[in-house]
Structure 1
Amino acid sequence: MRKSMIWGAAGLAAVLLPTMAHAASPAFDVERATRAYLDLLQGPARAKSDAYFEGGYWLTLWGTLASVVTYLIMLATGMAARFRDITERLIKRRWLQPAIFAVPFTIAGALIILPWTIYTGFFRERQYGLMNQGFGAWLGEQAIGVGVGIVVNMILFAVMFAVIRRFPRRWWLLGAAAMTGFVLIAALVAPLFIMPLFNKYTEMPAGPLRDRIVAVAAANHIPADHIYVSDASKQSKRISANVSGLGPTIRITLNDNLLNRTGPDEVVAVMGHEMGHYVLNHVQKAILAFAVIFLVVFFLIARIAPALVARYPRWGVRDVADPAAAAIFMLLASVAGLILTPVQNTLVRVQESEADAFGLDAAREPDGFAKVAMRLSEYRKIEPGPAEEALFFDHPSGATRVRMSMQWKKDHVPGATMIKPDVKFDQ
């Protein structure tokens, strides 16, 4: 972690000042200050960033196709039906059969799509210089992920097929409610039981930087008894922080890349942003928004799935209450996810923009936030077109964030002046 003593009494006093607007600095040119940052990313580094992110547009499509092919293989070969038959021979309790079916179903699905997972999750990340792990360590974490997926699907399948059997006409409505409840529980337990399977979480060490973050939190009435640091550098060079959990398990976490690769002003700016998610109840609001999405998707699946069962009897799926129908549900959900990608991106991007605004008011570090936005351009296209940003970005673009930061600086910092930003990028 970088250590600095620049956060003295003056710095703390600035944090504790109320976030009131000052008269705008007329001499400060927002567009010129913004361009000074954006022009830092030039030549090969910019081409690399654009290529990585734009390639992700196609990966969204190809990833959906890979999922569709995976489930079609499981249906067309009768694999899903055979898993069901084996389960029924082994387990006589009908309510338990979907849970047991989920075990081979999840493993088979992961193996079929494994070549695509290896390319997108390992080789492509290594190609663009973002991967720190060796293949063995990466593959081990994928295996852990499959294990988690088995447990999750066992619970999910048991609940969903019980709902379908009990309410054959309105199962989509109760199924969407059950899925929302499932997400609530997952959000509650993930920080305690799932995230530690992949990373080690430790308390941020005491020192001037932690004191500054605690001061920002206190000024905004945010509990900051615990600030966690994850060892994400063992996996990737990406800088990140997040708010996770729900209710008593909500926590703010930053990764060690953020501490090691940025300055104190950038860390405080990012933490102000993450505190915005907490204060604005974004986790709860996101779950409510996705509850509506679940309702729409489940309604469509309830209309389309029976038609597919009737049209393709060779798949061996008896009806929608048959656990083998999970392959049909997952196939349709994959297609729905692709279609709804712009909607989901917009929901997340709006929250991120709100947290950006909160973080600028809370941390009062516009240049720190602008520098972080530039660092994120290592893997996010810095200047997309308006339609491109609306369709494909689940966070505001770097250009949007830098411009917001410079406008905040003009509006809130008396006598604001341009700085000469210094952010280095890999070629």
Structure 2
Amino acid sequence: MKKWVTFALLGYGLFGLAIYYYLYGMAAGGIPEIYKGTSADPSLFLSEAEQALIKEYSTIKNLLFFISVPFEWLVYFFIVILGISRKFEEWSKQTVRFSFGQTAIYLFYLSVLTFLLAFPLQYIGYHFSKAYHISAQTFSQWMKNELIDFWISYAIMSVLIFTLYGLMKKFKKKWWLAAWMLFVPFTIFMMYVQPVIIDPLYNDFYPLKNKQLEAKILDLADRADIPADHVYEVNKSKETNALNAYVTGIGDHARIVLWDTTLNKLNEDEILFVMAHEMAHYVKKHIYIGIGSYLVLAFFGFWLTAKWMEKLVSKYGEKLQIHELSQLRTLPLFLLVISILTFSISPFTNAISRFEEKQADAYAIEMTENKDAAISAFRKLSKEGLSEMKPPGLVKIFRYGHPAMAERIYMIETYPLPGEKEKEKKEGADAQKSQD
């Protein structure tokens, strides 16, 4: 056990030093030559001080991300090998006799411990977000949201973990398949209820107040054959100064949502471009593609988790005092494996997401035919959110579900609109005639 602890701490420390060196020493600054002099050149709309500020904040965020993920793994690893998970299970069994109560008590102990251990890194993230004027929350407001997160997660996880371990006891070998089969309707259910039950716990959602703007957005929706009656705005200005809009939910509960910060800081043409982009996700069925992909990946994820856990318990179960996979004390091991697999496939899922975002950008520019509004909207999004124009390679691969801002702006500038395509064809035909 001492050897495991030593190697784990040493490995985490070396990884932290390596990622620090990569982000602060190796990651190239500036942008590629192809963007210089174009609309994507940050020197054309950002001062040197603003560029430096974006670089500082982005590097801090990236560092926190890369050290937070393996820190979570380290926590789960130590909870298992130090016997903490076993103690939590024993205490829960001593407290109540019925199995759901034991699961709820065990999970409460585990959730509180992991929350407290992760809190310093969470607070550091909040601190820098506040210091760089991204977050508009007071500490009490931020803490309130953290506690809401905790209790919502705890309530949902109590049901999920009780069900999961019940399936492990009933289906010794095929529990992962049974779990996945129940996971499918649960995922669809959560996608359906989140916009109307969970999201309002954090913020107030209401139909767009600017009815003239709403009429123009609904006209775009009608042109895109989207059966929308309302566009919703949400009061995010109490939390952040960043800009955003998104599509959430499925079926009758699908919503197009605008942050009030976006309404306050973008002009009408810029907002219409952003809305066209969000409508593209509906038109291109990205939400349903995302759900389908997620469920397929979950199938293989459950299978790999089962195989991995079986091997670990078979090899190290005696040392860890784990006799069966269905014991609650194996939960941190389950969460550890799931977290590692999720991180491992993030380059793939992020690549798919970036492709969909490019599709949405292309759809939006074709619908609005207003490149100036699109470019100025992206410039403001970058400036207000302190978004990197061109992130380092590893950051893009593991963190970015959207193309980098420089890529998006350059794509918009060079994207041939229908009128421009016809003009290019005519100019080419005229040039060919003159040569003849």
Q: How does the TM-score come out when normalised to structure 1?
A: 0.83
Q: In the alignment, residue 319 of structure 1 is paired with which amino acid?
A: E
Q: CA deviation at 1:50?
A: 2.8
8 Å CA contact 1:180–1:287 kept in 2: the answer is: no
How many residues are matched? 387
Could you tell me which residue of structure 2 aligns to residue 425 of structure 1? none
**Which region of structure 1 is more displaced relative to structure 2, 57-66 or 342-351?**
57-66
Superposed displacement of residue 295, structure 1? 2.4
- For 1:210 and 1:182, locate their aligned partners in 2 and report how far apart those are by CA, in whole Å: 33
- RMSD value over aligned CA atoms? 2.6
- Note if 1:108 corresponds to 2:113: yes
User: 1:214-244 deviations in whole A, cap 9, x for unaligned?
Assistant: 1111111112212111111111111011111
Partner of 2:361: 356
1:382 to 389, 396, 414: 389
CA drift of 1:179 comes to 3.0
| Maintained 8 Å contact 1:37/1:370 | no
Contact 1:38 1:399 in 2 (8 A): no
Alignment equivalent of 2:168, drawn from 151, 164, 167:
164
Do structure 1's residue 179 and structure 2's residue 183 form an aligned pair?
yes
Letter of the 1:225 partner, please give it: D
Q: Is residue 249 from structure 1 mapped to residue 253 from structure 2 by the alignment?
A: yes
**1:113 partner SS:** helix
Return 5+ residue gaps in structure 2 as ranges: 1-34, 424-436
CA 1:66–1:31: 2 relative to 1, 3 Å:
closer
Bigger RCO (CA 8 Å, 6+ sep): 1
Determine the C-alpha separation between the residues in 1 that align with 2:285 and 2:375.
Answer: 24
Take 1:103 and 1:391, find their aligned partners in 2: how far apart are those partners? 31
Among residues 389, 403, 411, which one is paired with 1:396 in the alignment?
403
Q: Would you say the 8 A contact 1:200–1:231 is kept in 2? A: yes
Q: Which range moves more in the overlay, 76-85 or 244-253?
A: 76-85
What residue in structure 2 maps to residue 146 of structure 1?
150
Mapping of residues 20-419 of structure 1, within 5 Å? 33-35=38-40, 39-94=44-99, 97-120=102-125, 122-310=126-314, 311=316, 313-378=318-383, 379-384=386-391, 389-408=396-415, 411-412=418-419
Question: Structure 1 residues 110 and 259, CA, compared in 2 at 3 Å: closer, same or farther?
Answer: same
Distance 1:206 1:43, change over 3 A: closer
| Pairwise CA distance, 1:178 | 3.0
| Structure 2 Cα separation of the partners of residues 208 and 381 of structure 1 | 34
76-85 vs 61-70, which deviates more?
Answer: 76-85
- Confirm or deny: 8 A CA contact 1:203 1:229 kept in the other structure: yes
The answer to whether the 8 A contact 1:98-1:161 is kept is no
Identity value in percent? 23
Unaligned runs of 5+ in 1: 1-29, 417-427
Q: Assess if the C-alpha contact under 8 Å between 1:374 and 1:382 holds in 2.
A: no
Q: CA deviation at 1:410?
A: 5.2
Quick check: 146-155 or 156-165, which moved more?
Answer: 156-165
Q: What SS does the corresponding residue of 2:209 show, helix, strand or coil?
A: coil
Whichever structure has more helix as a proportion of its residues is: 2
Q: Which moved more, 1:215-224 or 1:372-381?
A: 372-381
SS in 2 for 1:243: strand
Partner Cα separation in structure 2 for residue 116 and residue 203 of structure 1: 36
Report the residue type matching 2:173 in the other structure. Answer: R
**Structure-1 separation of matches of 2:145 and 2:199:** 12
Distance 1:414 1:287 in 2: 35
Structure 1 position 36, deviation (Å): 6.2
Residues 129-171 of structure 1 show CA distances to partners (whole Å, capped at 9, x for unaligned) of 2111111111111011101011110121122222222222122
Q: Which amino acid aligns with 1:185?
A: F
